[in-house]
Amino acid sequence: QKEVEQNSGPLSVPEGAIASLNCTYSDRGSQSFFWYRQYSGKSPELIMFIYSNGDKEDGRFTAQLNKASQYVSLLIRDSQPSDSATYLCAADGGYQKVTFGTGTKLQVIP
Amino acid sequence: SQTIHQWPATLVQPVGSPLSLECTVEGTSNPNLYWYRQAAGRGLQLLFYSVGIGQISSEVPQNLSASRPQDRQFILSSKKLLLSDSGFYLCAWSLGTGGVGGTEAFFGQGTRLTVV
């Protein structure tokens, strides 16, 4: 069974610090990886996607992919209280399906 | 631009009653459509996905069913709800063009279903 695993947290970081969120996946055939942010009671919203090994930066967010280790991460620089949410990692699972992890809850402490 | 509409936002239904949740997408053609369920404190569970009209794939056997009567319409149904059907139901679409970057999913606002 194809799986995406994340630590459920909560991960607590002080305001202004770097938050590091991690994810591993089991399907070596996955090509694209996604990070979604989900505020409590709301639907997930796409933050970033990555498909090449290495880093991809977008503002305060950096996604990192290591296909050899089957590892994806999301770094949030200068964390703000508004970043407090659950972050879902997802991987494409072939046949047009995306498999989601259970999410990591991030708490940014003012 | 593409938009996705899902309704209702909240729903309280008695055990044994039927269910119909509807989702429509605008601004794109032949999208892949998905129904997910998120139980309290849990991850997203893929229930059904569809790559075209009348084409439905079920991921989890249960008392739910899905239909796609039109290209941009996806319906989740049940004949008799169970208490365990309570949760946050999310409809999503993707282009599904294949290859990298083509399968990111965009979600509707969700329906919070409580079965009592």
Give the nearest partner residue to B90 out of A31, A43, A98, using CB atoms. Answer: A43
The percentage of residues in chain A with a pLDDT greater than 70, rounded to a whole number, is 95
A-contacting residues in B 44-63 (Cβ below 8 Å) = 44, 46, 49, 51, 57
User: If you measure CA to CA, which chain B residue comes closest to A5?
Assistant: B43
Interface contact B103-A102, CB threshold 8 A? no
Check CB contact under 8 Å for B49 and A96: yes
Q: How does pLDDT run along chain B (116 residues), one tens digit per residue?
A: 888 999 999 999 999 999 999 999 999 888 889 999 998 767 888 899 898 999 998 887 678 999 999 999 999 999 999 999 999 999 999 886 555 555 788 899 999 999 99
Interface residue of B60, B89, B103 to substitute, partner A, most A CBs within 10 Å: B103
Distance CA B52, CA B44 (A): 22
Backbone φ and ψ of B97, nearest 5°: -75, -5
**A45, amino acid identity:** E
Contacts of A91 (CB under 8 A, 6+ apart): A2, A4, A25, A27, A30, A32, A33, A34, A72, A98, A99
Least CB-CB distance to A102: which of B34, B42, B98? B42
- Taking an 8 Å cut-off on Cβ atoms, the answer to whether B46 and A99 are in contact is yes
Q: How far apart are CA B103 and CA A43, in angstroms?
A: 17
Is the CA virtual torsion B1, B98, A45, B76 positive or negative?
positive
Residue A31's region, left for phi above 0, alpha for psi from -120 to 50, else beta, is: alpha
